[in-house]
């Protein structure tokens, strides 16, 4: 999921002057058009999860997935609208700020809320930052697994018999070098290539699926699935839709921000297109390969076919070049508080940051090395973190914001928010449990 350069320039300095930084950045930033904002949102919402849509449909069933995916998309958009509303109100109450990102929004909303909630403002901000870090960390680790599995198939076909772990180790150094760079301008150009390679890989994979013999009848596949599989479906779907952290920066970067969240604005139209793309990819992939569909549909292609090898390599490169961008976003969240609280980091900021980046790359590599199944890792990150960021925290923001005005929290709003909250909590608990159970099971089988 490529992150445009202008969206990472809102990061706060360690000295706490986030208001001045944001305001200065907003004045100098190139304002984007409606089309550019839509492209950024598409880039931020479509990544490795797109190639997992076949596994998503396998866990949800053809009819079940086709019904649930649009519902999840609608709820995601609604929660993103609540986040936008909370951010706008928080900015309006500020005398100097022109923009708040996700963590700042939840902090400012809680600070202005009823007294019992005000003392939770710092904690809520910390929790959101922690979940954003875990999500980005998960993205980076998943990228390692995605690259390795595709590359391993190609090497194996050419008689290069090395283990999956050794293949992953070969990917470590190329991923390490750009990730040690502390300036985004040196690594952001690869974002465009990464997204082109991802889309090429998807189109080529689906084309090969159609050309490689007839597509079986959908009647041969499961229409619905059981509860445990639905938990995995929920996690994968939320992982694929995870882009809520980019909503506020994208909106703020527009020439006309009000065109972002109107009825036929950037948000609704983009998520509609993305949902159609997800559904088409999942339907074709699961119908074609059935229960054998892999965590990445590129893994279902014939590794001995030259064209398939090119497609696998293109998709792997697309994800590979996306790793430094995802890693950069994670470091922008983690590094400022570390720099503020470490004396050596203030004396030698570049040296310490490069060393810290080196350690963090090794950690993402280590987690990827330990998790044996790509699709289970995706479900785990989606269920645990993406669900909380996309559903739970926006509902908290809406509750606190509405509680500030008399009769703002009506019966219908209360019931609607509670329904979202209960479903999200069930998804978090069941999805996390089922993903961990399947990961442990995979360990035991190995």
> What are 214-267's pLDDT values in tens digits?
889 999 999 999 877 888 898 888 878 767 777 888 888 888 888 998 888 999
Residue 2 lies inside a defined structural domain of this protein: no
Q: What is the pLDDT of residues 52-62, one digit of tens each?
A: 899 999 999 99
Residue 16 within a domain: no
Residue 14 lies in a domain: no
Q: With 60 as the cut, is the pLDDT of residue 11 above it? A: no
CATH number, residue 272: 1.20.1740.10
Give the confidence band of 275 by pLDDT, cuts at 50, 70, 90.
very high
Residue 90 has pLDDT above 50, yes or no: yes
Tell me the C-alpha distance between 118 and 185, whole Å: 38
**Between residues 48 and 20, the one the model is more confident about:** 48
Measured distance CA(143)–CA(381) in Å, rounded: 13
Dist CA 253 CA 259 (whole Å): 12
Predicted confidence (pLDDT) at residue 406 exceeds the cutoff of 70: yes
By the 8 A CB rule, do 93 and 112 touch?
A: yes
Specify the pTM.
0.79
Q: Which residue has the higher pLDDT, 68 or 4?
A: 68
Count of C-beta atoms within a 10 Å radius of residue 69: 24
Number of domains in the chain: 1
Distance (Å, rounded) from C-alpha 50 to C-alpha 270? 15
Q: What is the pLDDT of residues 138-181, one digit of tens each?
A: 878 888 888 888 888 888 888 888 888 888 888 888 888 777 77
Whether pLDDT at 6 is above 50: no
**What is the average pLDDT score of the chain?**
82
Q: Is residue 18 part of a domain?
A: no
* Tokens of residue 235, six digits: 């996690």
Q: What is the mean pLDDT of residues 102-122?
A: 90
Q: Residue 185: what pLDDT?
A: 58
For CA atoms 232, 236, 237, 242, the dihedral sign is positive
Task: Tell me whether residue 342 is in a domain.
Answer: yes
Q: Name the percent of the chain lying above pLDDT 70.
A: 88
pLDDT at 20: 42
| Separation of alpha carbons 165 and 170, rounded Å | 9
pLDDT (average), residues 7-31: 44
**10 assigned to some structural domain:** no
Domain of 411 in residue numbering reads as 31-445
């Amino acid at each position: 999921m490529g992150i445009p350069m202008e969206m990472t320039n809102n990061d706060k300095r360690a000295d706490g002057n986030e208001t001045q930084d944001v305001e200065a950045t907003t004045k100098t930033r190139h304002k984007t058009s409606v089309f550019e904002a839509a492209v950024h949102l598409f880039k931020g919402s479509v990544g490795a999860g797109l190639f997992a849509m076949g596994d998503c449909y396998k866990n949800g069933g053809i009819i079940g997935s086709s019904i649930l995916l649009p519902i999840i998309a609608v709820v995601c958009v609604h929660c993103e609208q609540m986040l936008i509303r909370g951010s706008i109100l928080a900015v309006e109450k500020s005398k100097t700020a022109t923009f708040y990102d996700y963590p700042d929004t939840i902090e400012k909303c809680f600070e202005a809320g009823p007294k019992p909630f005000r003392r939770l403002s710092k904690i809520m901000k910390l929790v959101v930052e922690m979940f954003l870090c875990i999500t980005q960390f998960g993205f980076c680790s998943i990228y390692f697994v995605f690259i390795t599995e595709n590359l391993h198939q190609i090497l194996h076909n050419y008689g290069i018999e090395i283990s999956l772990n050794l293949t992953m180790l070969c990917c470590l150094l190329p991923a390490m070098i750009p990730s040690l760079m502390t300036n985004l301008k040196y690594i952001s150009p690869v974002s465009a290539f990464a997204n082109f390679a991802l889309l090429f890989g998807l189109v080529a994979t689906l084309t090969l699926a159609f050309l490689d013999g007839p597509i079986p009848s959908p009647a041969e596949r499961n229409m619905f699935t059981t509860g445990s599989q639905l938990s995995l479906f929920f996690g994968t779907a939320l992982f694929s839709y995870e882009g809520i952290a980019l909503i506020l920066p994208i909106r703020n970067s527009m020439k006309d921000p009000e065109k972002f969240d109107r009825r036929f604005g950037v948000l609704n139209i983009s998520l509609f297109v993305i949902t159609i793309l997800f559904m088409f990819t999942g339907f074709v992939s699961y119908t074609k390969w059935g229960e054998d569909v892999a965590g990445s549909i590129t893994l279902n292609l014939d590794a001995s076919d030259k064209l398939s090898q090119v497609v696998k390599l293109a998709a792997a490169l697309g994800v590979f070049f996306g790793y430094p961008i995802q890693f950069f976003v994670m470091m922008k969240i983690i590094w400022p508080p570390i720099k503020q609280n470490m004396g050596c980091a203030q004396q030698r900021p570049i040296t310490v940051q490069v060393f810290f980046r080196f350690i963090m790359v090794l950690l993402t590599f280590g987690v990827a090395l330990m998790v044996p199944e790509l699709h289970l890792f995706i479900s785990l990150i989606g269920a645990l973190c993406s669900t909380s960021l996309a559903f739970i925290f926006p509902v908290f923001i809406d509750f606190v914001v509405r509680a500030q005005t008399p009769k703002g929290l009506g019966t219908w709003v209360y019931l609607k928010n509670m329904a979202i909250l209960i479903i999200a909590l069930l998804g978090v608990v069941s999805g996390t449990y089922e993903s961990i159970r399947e990961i442990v099971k995979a360990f035991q089988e190995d």
